[in-house]
Structure 1
Amino acid sequence: MQNGLSVDVEDWFQVGAFEGVIDRADWPRLDCRVEANCETVLQIFDAAGVKATFFTLGWIAERYPALVRRIVAAGHELASHGYDHRRIFTMTAEEFAADLSKTQAILEDLGGVGIRGYRAPSFSVDGRTPWAHAVLAEQGYAYSSSVAPVVHDHYGWPQSPRHAWRPLADSDLVEWPVTTARVAGRTLAAGGGGFMRLLPYRFTHWAIERMNAEGHPAILYFHPWEVDPGQPRVAGASLRSKLRHYSGLGAMAGKLRRLVGDFEWTRADALIAAQQQRAEPWRAAA
């Protein structure tokens, strides 16, 4: 079974863990390492012969147009991660629509391809944003991967389905959440990112196998900064944020190389197209 591999293209200073100590106004003067880190990721993918989806911030794309073109030229899907990593529940529906339009225009202009997919910063589509999927559909998106069906202090919509579903009765828009695992009656996040860095590789491997055994593709994600143990340290961040962000950085590239070799992977848009060809009975709205 093919699984969905995705990269959230943002830099170390743009993450939710540091949003309280790093001001957006300071971003332009910080050490931006995303281009070099993405090159490392692209080389790992190229060596394994796999394709992925790159959910890219408009802020990054504006500053690194060659990176956007490199992603597209390598055969990967270019998708939207919003403009500057604002969480959806901090916006109005009108502001969200404007953010989508602005980012889509930037990515399509630089990449020369249509943008069909979206992932909300910090998986911030949840019960506080009942209008988000309708706005995405109105903007012409085919799919979203913006919901985390778990309990978490930074994000989560635990009442939502664990597998791909259609959130709107009058739209073909598909919501495809990142992978979770059911353990002792609880739903645990297992879709990559910090969980892949912090936990043994065998847990991620097991979670993917479990998802495939349930008859569903796994959807994994990570960030380019997660393969960069030499990135700057944020002195003013809390101990909890530092542990979350910096733990396991040195092991991530090795885990990623194992992962792309142990399973079959493809782009999110190709995965959805394959499911639709099999007349996948998407679940209705949560």
Structure 2
Amino acid sequence: MINALTVDVEDWYQTSDFHFPIANWHRYEDRVVENTRVLLELFSFYRVKGTFFTLGCIAERHPDLVEKIAADGHEIGSHGGWHQMLHEMSFEQIREDLFQSKKILEQISGKPVHMFRAPSWSMSPQRYQVLQVLEELGYLYDSSMQPFRTPLSGIKGIPIHPFHPVLDGEALHLVEFPPTVLNIGCMNIPFSGGFYLRALPGKFVEWALKRVNEERSGMIYVHPWEIDMDQPRLEASPIIRFVHYYNLETMKNKLERLLQVFTFSPLGEVIRNHHSFPKVPLYSNGNR
């Protein structure tokens, strides 16, 4: 079974953990290039390709990094322009953000950008119309719907497998690929990326992905800052410090172990290798 390997290219201070105003970003140390290159070297060593969901602002500031990702044969997707949560923007702002981030990434990479991942999985029932905007702008695949709830994001009850969203009775050509969870009974247990991958024992993560692979392809996601133990340690609430800094020292080894045990490809390739996906109606007041 082939799984999708994805990277959300954002710097440590751009995350939703700290929620720093964009106007203050210039105050913080820029570390995304170095950390992304470490991931590129790791993927090159294991001869694996992935999908790099990249912020437009990083592409503008570090075009050489985007060129390097593309030159290494990886797929490039949009992570938005400035890592703004979808509910914090109007639909007009979202459309402009999606258009401009796609445009700058295509100009730098020389490759079409067909994928989007919302910052912090911030797709919600109130923003389902964004899926139609994505399709209108030429995006083919989305990976923004988290199939479990957290205080920050997520949509309870959506499918845990890839699907075609149906809005207002119209099935989109767009394919939605949610982050991989382990379904046990009525529970969807996250394990496949970010804090969950850092926090959980590596053996459990391997076991869970093998269980998922008995039925379908899975998807792993990481952030460059999650392999960076030398990033600045800021004062913040205990919960924010825990979520952002916990187990950073384990992430690279866990990721490397997954690369040794499982087979990975870019997300687009995994989707294209499947012949069909179910059509699932979505409603602005909930998914059913």
TM-score interval (norm. to shorter): over 0.9
Please give the alpha-carbon distance, in whole angstroms, between the structure 1 residues aligned to 2:189 and 2:227: 23
Q: CA deviation at 1:29?
A: 2.9
The runs of 5 or more residues in structure 2 that have no matched partner are: 283-288
Contact kept, 8 Å, 1:164 with 1:283, in 2: the verdict is no
Tell me the residue number matched to 2:286: none
User: In the alignment, what sits opposite 1:270?
Assistant: 269
* Residue pairs, 1:48-59, within 5 angstroms: 48-59=46-57
In the TM superposition, 1:1-286 aligns within 5 A as 1-19=1-19, 22-168=20-166, 169-214=170-215, 216-235=216-235, 237-275=236-274, 279-286=275-282
Residues of 1 paired with 2:27 and 2:220: CA distance?
31
Amino acid at match of 1:87: M
Q: Percent identity?
A: 38
TM-score by length of structure 2 reads: 0.94
TM-score by length of 1: 0.95
Cα distance in 1 for residues equivalent to 2:281 and 2:208: 25
Counterpart Cα distance in 1 of 2:68 and 2:219: 23
Cα shift readout 1:99-145 (whole Å, capped 9, x = no counterpart): 00110111011111100000000001111212111111111110000
Task: Report deviation, 1:182.
Answer: 1.6
Structure 1 Cα separation of the partners of residues 177 and 268 of structure 2: 11
Partner SS for 1:128? helix
1:60-96, Cα deviation, whole Å (9 max, x unpaired): 1111111000000000001100000001111222111
Q: For 1:141 and 1:254, locate their aligned partners in 2 and report how far apart those are by CA, in whole Å.
A: 33
Does the 8 Å contact 2:164/2:171 carry over to 1? no
For 2:26, give the aligned amino acid.
P
Shift of 1:43: 0.8
- Partners of 2:245 and 2:171 lie apart in 1 by 43
Deviation digits for residues 3-47 of structure 1 (CA, Å, limit 9, x no counterpart): 00100000000111100xx22111123101000000110111001
Divergent runs of 4+, >2 A:
168-171, 279-286
What number of residue pairs does the alignment pair up?
279
Separation in 2, partners of 1:63, 1:244? 27
Q: CA deviation at 1:283?
A: 3.5
Amino acid in structure 2 at the alignment position of 1:284: V
Quick one: which amino acid aligns to residue 246 of structure 1? Y
Amino acid at match of 1:282: P
Structure 2 distance, partners of 1:103, 1:149, is 25
Q: Tell me how far 1:184 sits from its aligned partner.
A: 4.6
1:48 alignment partner AA: Y
Cα deviation digits, residues 190-216 of structure 1 (max 9, x gap): 2211101111011211221121112x1
Q: Distance in 2 between matches of 1:23 and 1:116?
A: 28
CA contact (8 A) 1:117 1:142 kept: yes
- Check whether the contact 1:165–1:285 (CA below 8 A) recurs between aligned residues: no
Return the alpha-carbon distance in structure 1 between the equivalents of residues 279 and 162 of structure 2.
7
User: What is the RMSD of the two structures over their aligned residues, measured on CA atoms?
Assistant: 1.1
Q: Deviations over 1:158-184 (max 9, x none)?
A: 121100010133421000001011235
Quote the offset at 1:189 in angstroms.
1.4
Q: Which letter does structure 1 place at the counterpart of 2:16?
A: G
AA in 2 matched with 1:18 = F
Rounded to whole Å, the distance in 2 between the matches of 1:228 and 1:52 is: 20
